[in-house]
């Protein structure tokens, strides 16, 4: 580890990169078996330090030790990391045994000449722990199942052919992002990694050093801390061949084109200062489309909690937090749903606004909307204009907006998809909430309309963050953004099956929780999910899920089920 010192140029970066250049040779010489052993050690050390990880995360975010919200840190932290390590290890094991990492997966056709790979459920444990949830990765149009099988494994198909030294500029909001991005650079692209932590997460440095000790010692990973000067030195170092960033599009553009008016002018001319390859995950204004139907009072209340979770999980400091709820102006139950949404929004637990600039962004939302409704420490916007600023400005905090478009059924859904594609900034994640009866009425036309929705992850009766937590799914923006209009970013991460030619992940979940789901004809045993902000046992369930991901076993399932049902 190296840390910047005031008045010193960039010796932390230079010395770290020098070690990584030597480490690249070591990485090239490691067999698949060696790499699997490294992943096994990483899993063990992650679980060994998981409690410390969560304690530090709660300190950063101001969460009380006895708060159910601690579950967010267990699930989006150690659980996500451990799941990713385990799935990646299985892909390398397949390659070691001269199999495709796609062997054993169910492949089918998807609309628009795409191939779908079912990545959830994949194991019997998936079927039990996430009963009622599923996820598919869709290929780009025209890519066959055979092409996907032949290319799965990416750089690990030729492990001796390394990809140089890359820098990962870590995120400051979700603490598994930086280590998972580091793993993706190592294994998908065969690059050794300089990880620059976001200053907000600097307290995590001792934990990450211990977790990655087996990677740091031979020079496969280096971790540095510091301010903007260290990040600039890393990005511009001549021996850094690739840059990966998680953050805002403003941060991306400042790095690629330079800050201020000069940088904006270069962006308009598509003349980047940074000419190295860059990948990114940049967030955006994510929608939740609520398809009109005939809902019970309990359905209205539950889905209002669902939408509020999509906004207020981590206090809205998620790149995939829902910002604009799209409802039908013709829905007979529109006012009932909005009333339920206001109740759920007001009753959600209060949070410390730990992320820098949060108060200013919230104040700007209020200033931009004279009719803004203040609910405790959060803001609800229902007085939106045509081409409202809420459609293009990512507030990245506890601000939720409601937009209305006309129509019922397929007409509404088509209009809502067009609205999301054309008026909202970003293409990271979009959610659709639809009653099972309405889904049946829409038939195959539903999938055709969803195929038109240009987002990297689409959640249907499930928050798109389930895609983030699904290690075998892809995570990133819809493909095709140029460097001067990056929207929600370029490229994907996670993708533990190491798939090529992917376009999106589509997640499905149950409309109702167990036991009401079974009573109303949905065959799903999933209770209220532990990531809901209203879940009373989220902390206990989250810890047990992480423990299970570290070492899956049948004996751990009963305690998880019991805790989840009590939530």
Is residue 542 in a domain?
A: no
Q: Please give the Cα distance from 482 to 479 (Å, whole number).
A: 9
Residue 230 lies in a domain: yes
Positive or negative: CA dihedral 418, 423, 424, 427: positive
Last residue within a domain, chosen from 233, 262, 281: 281
**What pLDDT does residue 2 have?**
45
Same domain, 77 and 207: yes
Residues 250 and 267 in one domain: yes
d(CA 57, CA 61): 6
Q: 123 is written with which tokens? A: 């194991």
The answer to whether residues 259 and 299 belong to one domain is no
- Please tell me whether residues 263 and 329 are part of one structural domain: no
SS3 state at 110: strand
Q: The domain spanning residue 79 has which CATH number?
A: 3.40.605.10
Could you say which of 251, 281, 311 is where a domain stops? 281
Is 246 within the bounds of a domain? Answer: yes
Q: CB within 8 A of 98, min separation 6: which ones? A: none
pLDDT of residue 519: 67
**Residue 298's CATH number:** 3.40.309.10
Kindly state the helix (H) or strand (E) to which residue 300 belongs, with its residue range: helix 297-312
List CB contacts of 76: < 8 A, sequence separation 6 or more: 174, 175, 176, 314, 465, 468, 469, 531
Tell me whether residue 467 is in a domain: yes
Residue 56 counted as domain residue: yes
Q: Would you say residue 175 lies in a domain?
A: yes
- Same-domain pairing of 294 and 265: no
* Domain final position from 256, 281, 306: 281
For each successive 10 residues of the chain (567 residues), what is the average pLDDT?
Answer: 45 93 98 98 98 98 96 98 98 98 96 97 93 96 96 97 97 97 98 97 98 98 95 95 93 90 90 93 96 97 97 97 98 97 95 95 94 91 94 96 97 98 98 96 95 98 97 97 93 97 97 78 82 95 97 95 90
Number of domains present in the structure of the chain: 2
Question: CA–CA separation, 214 vs 197, rounded Å?
Answer: 19
pLDDT at residue 524, as a whole number? 79
Do 334 and 451 reside in the same domain of the chain? Answer: yes
189 and 242 Cβ atoms separated by less than 8 Å: yes
Same domain, 372 and 274: no
Three-class SS state of 66: coil
Q: Which domain holds residue 167?
A: 2-108+158-281
Question: Which residues are within 8 A (CB) of 187 and not within 5 positions of it... i.e. 6 or more apart?
Answer: 35, 88, 92, 154, 155, 156, 498
Are 55 and 180 in a shared domain? yes
Residues 369 and 420 occupy one common structural domain: yes
Contacts of 474 (CB under 8 A, 6+ apart): 137, 456, 457, 467, 492, 493, 494, 495, 499, 502, 504, 505
Burial class (CB in 10 A: 0-12, 13-18, 19+), 247: buried
CA 222 – CA 1 distance, rounded (Å)? 6
Residues 352 and 459 in one domain: yes
Residue 503 and residue 388 in one domain: yes
pLDDT of residue 513: 85
Burial class (CB in 10 A: 0-12, 13-18, 19+), 358: buried
527 φ/ψ angles, rounded to the nearest 5 degrees: -80, -170
Same domain, 460 and 421: yes
Say if 212 falls within a structural domain: yes
Residue 562 covered by a domain: no
Radius of gyration of the chain (CA): 23
Q: How far is CA 565 from the centre of its chain?
A: 25
């Amino acid at each position: 580890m190296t840390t910047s010192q005031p008045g010193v140029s960039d010796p932390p970066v230079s010395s770290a990169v020098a070690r990584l250049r030597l480490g690249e040779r070591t990485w090239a010489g490691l067999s698949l078996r060696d790499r699997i052993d490294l992943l096994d050690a990483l899993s063990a050390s992650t679980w060994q330090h998981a409690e410390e990880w969560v304690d530090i995360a709660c300190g950063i975010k101001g969460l009380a030790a006895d708060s159910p919200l601690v579950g967010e840190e267990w699930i989006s932290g150690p659980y996500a990391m451990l799941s990713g390590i385990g799935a990646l290890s299985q892909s390398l094991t397949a390659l070691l045994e001269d199999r495709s990492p796609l062997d054993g997966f169910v492949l089918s056709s998807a609309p628009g000449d795409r191939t779908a790979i079912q990545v959830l459920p994949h194991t019997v444990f998936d079927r039990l722990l996430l009963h009622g949830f599923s996820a598919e990765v869709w290929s780009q149009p025209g890519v066959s199942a055979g092409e996907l099988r032949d290319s799965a494994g990416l750089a690990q198909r030729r492990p001796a052919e390394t990809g140089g030294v890359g820098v990962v500029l870590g995120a400051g909001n979700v603490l598994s992002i930086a280590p998972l991005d580091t793993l993706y650079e190592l294994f998908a692209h065969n690059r050794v990694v300089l990880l620059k932590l976001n200053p907000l997460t600097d307290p995590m440095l001792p934990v990450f050093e211990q977790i990655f000790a087996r990677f740091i010692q031979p020079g496969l990973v280096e971790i540095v801390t510091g301010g903007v000067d260290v990040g600039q030195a890393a990005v511009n170092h001549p021996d850094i061949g690739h840059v990966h960033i998680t953050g805002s599009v403003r941060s991306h553009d400042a790095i690629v084109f330079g800050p201020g008016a000069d940088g904006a002018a270069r962006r308009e001319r598509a003349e980047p200062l940074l000419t190295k390859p860059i990948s990114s995950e940049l967030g955006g204004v994510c929608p939740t489309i609520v398809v009109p139907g005939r809902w019970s009072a309990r359905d209205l209340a539950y889905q209002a909690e669902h939408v509020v979770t999509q906004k207020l999980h981590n206090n809205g400091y998620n790149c995939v937090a829902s910002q604009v709820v799209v409802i039908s102006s013709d829905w007979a139950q529109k006012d009932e749903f909005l009333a339920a949404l206001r109740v759920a929004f007001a009753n959600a637990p209060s949070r410390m606004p730990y992320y820098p600039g949060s108060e200013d962004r919230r104040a700007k939302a209020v200033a931009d909307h004279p009719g803004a409704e203040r609910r405790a420490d959060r803001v609800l916007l229902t007085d939106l204009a045509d081409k409202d600023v809420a459609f293009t400005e990512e507030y990245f905090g506890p601000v939720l907006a409601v937009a209305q478009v006309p129509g019922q059924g397929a007409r509404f859904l088509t209009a809502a998809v067009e609205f999301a594609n054309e008026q909202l900034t970003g293409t990271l994640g979009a959610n659709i909430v639809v009653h099972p009866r309405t889904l049946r009425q829409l038939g195959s036309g539903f999938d055709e309309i969803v195929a038109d929705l240009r987002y990297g992850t689409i959640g249907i009766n499930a928050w798109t963050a389930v895609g983030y937590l699904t290690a075998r799914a892809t995570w990133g923006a819809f493909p095709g953004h140029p460097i001067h209009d990056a929207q929600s970013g370029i490229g994907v991460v996670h993708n533990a099956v190491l798939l090529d030619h992917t376009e999106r992940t589509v997640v499905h979940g149950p409309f109702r929780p167990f036991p009401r789901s079974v009573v109303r004809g949905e065959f799903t045993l999933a209770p209220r999910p532990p990531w809901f902000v209203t879940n009373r046992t989220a902390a206990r369930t989250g810890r047990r899920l992480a423990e299970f991901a570290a070492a899956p076993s049948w004996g751990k399932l009963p305690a998880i089920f019991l805790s989840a049902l009590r939530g």
